[in-house]
Amino acid sequence: MSRQLSEMSLEELWQLFPIFLTEYKPYWKDWFEEEAALLKEHLPAEQTVRISHIGSTAIKGIQAKPIIDILVEITENSDLKWFSRYLTSAGYLCMSEEEQRLSFNKGYTEQGFAERVFHLHLRRAGDNDELYFRDYLNAHPQAAGEYVKLKLSLWKQFEHDRDRYTQGKTEFVKKYTRYAKEQALKQALTEEEQCHGVSQDFPYTRRKQEAYLE
């Protein structure tokens, strides 16, 4: 009888679920859209602000772990525990809890990865730095290329150590997220000056509150 994932040590889990990168696959976008559509069918539209495709599979042309990262932003007054219960019933497993942040995954089995694997990040609306990073790298191929080189280097070093692999990317992600937000603010200020005055809202916090896909 195979052991349950909950019975395995962290080292055993890293052996079962190693870091591996593959070439970009256009169907990753389809996988996201299909999963997001299922989520939209069941999550309350009035409390679901946005469902977004984030992470490396959302950056065109770059090598990535074949895991679809999904960001679900909900309103300030939403009940995180209710959302957590729904996601658990939909096959997601809660992996970590922080203040106002929950992380889930789906597609990890005792035999290894399923065909489709998802990481879902549940956040309050506006807690979405990943959107800036995603859009910046999609718009700047040179930065995306640098990111690929870094990921390939880390993969070789930390194939069975997900924590150190992630830590190795942290400074790069912070750097280009900062660039992206500075650029977005400049653009927002210019647009507001041309219209009805100056606003320091970023583009991902200005939009009408409604459920839609990014």
The answer as to whether 211 is a domain residue is: no
- pLDDT value of residue 5: 77
d(CA 49, CA 207): 10
Is residue 9, in this structure, part of any structural domain at all?
yes
Does residue 212 sit within a domain?
no
What pLDDT sits at residue 188? 80
Give the Cα-Cα-Cα angle 203, 209, 214 (nearest 5 degrees).
60
Give a yes or no: residue 42 inside a domain.
Answer: yes
Query: What residue numbers bound the domain in which 25 lies?
Result: 5-196
Q: How far is it, in rounded angstroms, from Cα 118 to Cα 95?
A: 12
Q: What CA–CA distance (Å, rounded) separates 94 from 87?
A: 8
**Structural domain total, the chain:** 1
Domain presence at residue 207? no
pLDDT at 179: 96
Q: What pLDDT shows up at residue 14?
A: 75
CB 2 within 8 A of CB 110: yes
- Per the prediction, the chain carries an average pLDDT of 89
In a domain? residue 205: no
pLDDT of residue 15: 83
**Rounded-to-integer distance, Cα 33 and Cα 70, Å:** 10
CB 204 within 8 A of CB 128: yes
What parts of the chain have a pLDDT lower than 50?
Answer: 198, 200, 206-213
Q: pLDDT tens, 63-122?
A: 999 999 999 999 999 999 899 999 998 899 998 898 899 999 999 988 889 999 999 999
Helix (H, G, I), strand (E, B) or coil at 145: helix
The pLDDT of residue 16: 84
User: Does residue 111 fall inside a structural domain?
Assistant: yes
Give the CATH number of the domain where residue 144 resides: 3.30.460.10
Full-model pTM: 0.87
